[in-house]
A and B are shown apart, each in its own frame.
Chain A
Amino acid sequence: MIIAGIDIGNASTETALARYVDGKPEFLCSGIVDTTGMKGTRQNIHGVFASLKQALEKADLTVEDVDLIRINEAAPVIGDVAMETITETIITESTMIGHNPSTPGGLGIGVGVTVDIREVNNCDKGESVIVVIPREVDFEDSSRIINHAVNNGIFINGAIVQRDDGVLINNRLTKKIPIVDEVSLIDKVPRNMRAAIEVAAAGSVVEQLSNPYGIATVFDLTSDETKQVVPVSRALIGNRSAVVIKTPAGDVKERKIPAGQIIIQGTNKKAQVNVDDGAEKIMDAIRSVAPVEDIRGEAGTNAGGMLEKVRQVMSHLTDQLPSAIKIQDLLAVDTFVPQTVKGGVAEEFSMENAVGIAAMVKADKLQMNMIAHELEAELGVKVEVGGVEADMAIRGALTTPGSNKPLAIIDMGAGSTDAAIINRAGEIKSIHLAGAGNMVTLLIASELGYDNMALAEDIKKYPLAKVESLFHIRHEDGTVQFFDKPLDPRTFARVVILTPNGMVPMPGNYSLERIRAVRREAKTKVFVVNAIRSLERVSPTGNVRDIEFVTLVGGSALDFEIPQLVTDALSKYSIVSGRANIRGVEGPRNAVATGLVLAYEEGE
Chain B
Amino acid sequence: MRMDFDAPKPEIKIVHGKNIMFQKVVDEVLHGIEEEGVPFSIEELEDANPVELAFRGAELSHLGVGIGITENEVVLHFIKLKEDQPIFRIPAYSNEATLRAIGSNAARLVKKMPFKNLDNTELS
Contacts and interface: CB of A to CB of B under 8 A. Distances in A.
Contacts of A168: 31, 34-35
A527 to B, nearest CB: 32
Nearest to B117: A490
A167 B115 contact: no
Interface stretch (B13-21, B49-57, B80-88): B80-88
A470 B81 contact: yes
Interface in A500-557: 505
Interface string A152-172: 000000000000111110010
B114 A493 contact: yes
Contact of B113 (A470, A493, A505): A493
B109 A103 contact: no
Given A489-B88, A492-B109, A167 B81 contact: no
A336 interface: no
A165 B85 contact: no
A134 to B, nearest CB: 15
A584 interface: no
Interface string B85-124: 1011000000000000000100011001111000000000
Contacts of A139: 31
B85 to A, nearest CB: 7
Contacts of A470: 78, 80-81, 87
A468 interface: yes
Contacts of A166: 35
Given A103-B36, A103-B37, A168-B35, A469 B81 contact: no
Interface residues of A, number: 20
Given A470-B78, A470-B81, A486-B85, A492 B35 contact: no
A573 interface: no
Contact of B35 (A164, A469, A489): A164
A489 B115 contact: yes
A102 interface: yes
Contacts of B34: 167-168, 171
B85 A493 contact: no
A494 interface: yes
A468 B85 contact: no
Contacts of A490: 115
Nearest to A491: B114
Contacts of B88: 489
Contacts of A103: 35-37
Nearest to B112: A493
A51 B106 CA distance: 52
Nearest to B116: A164
A471 interface: yes
Contact of B81 (A164, A486, A492, A494): A486
A196 B26 CA distance: 36
Contacts of B87: 470, 486, 489
A494 B114 contact: yes
Nearest to B96: A138
Contacts of A492: 108-109, 112, 114-115
Contacts of B104: 164
Contacts of B115: 489-490, 492-493
A443 B31 CA distance: 42
A167 B114 contact: no
A490 B116 CA distance: 9
A167 B87 CA distance: 25
Interface in B25-77: 31, 34-37
Residue from the set B36, B112, B114 with the largest chain A CB neighbour count within 10 Å: B114
Contacts of B37: 103, 167
A103 B114 CA distance: 13
A419 B106 CA distance: 56
A164 B28 CA distance: 13
A165 B35 contact: yes
A167 B112 CA distance: 19
Nearest to B37: A167
A186 to B, nearest CB: 15
B23 to A, nearest CB: 14
A102 B113 contact: yes
Contacts of A171: 34
Nearest to B113: A493
Contact of A469 (B85, B108, B112, B114): B112
B80 A468 contact: no
Nearest to B100: A164
Interface string A314-357: 00000000000000000000000000000000000000000000
A522 to B, nearest CB: 25
Given A164-B35, A167-B34, A171-B34, A493 B108 contact: yes
A103 B33 CA distance: 11
Contact of A167 (B36, B85, B109, B113): B36
A492 B87 CA distance: 11
Nearest to B101: A164
Nearest to B118: A489
Contacts of A164: 35, 104
Contacts of B108: 492-493
18 contacts: A166-B35, A167-B34, A167-B36, A168-B35, A468-B112, A470-B78, A470-B81, A470-B87, A486-B80, A486-B87, A489-B87, A492-B112, A493-B108, A493-B112, A493-B113, A493-B114, A494-B114, A505-B114
Closest 10 CB pairs of A and B: A167-B35, A493-B112, A493-B114, A494-B114, A168-B35, A493-B113, A489-B87, A489-B115, A492-B115, A167-B37
Given A486-B87, A493-B115, 13 more contacts: A103-B37, A167-B35, A167-B36, A167-B37, A168-B35, A469-B112, A470-B78, A470-B80, A470-B87, A489-B87, A492-B108, A493-B112, A505-B114
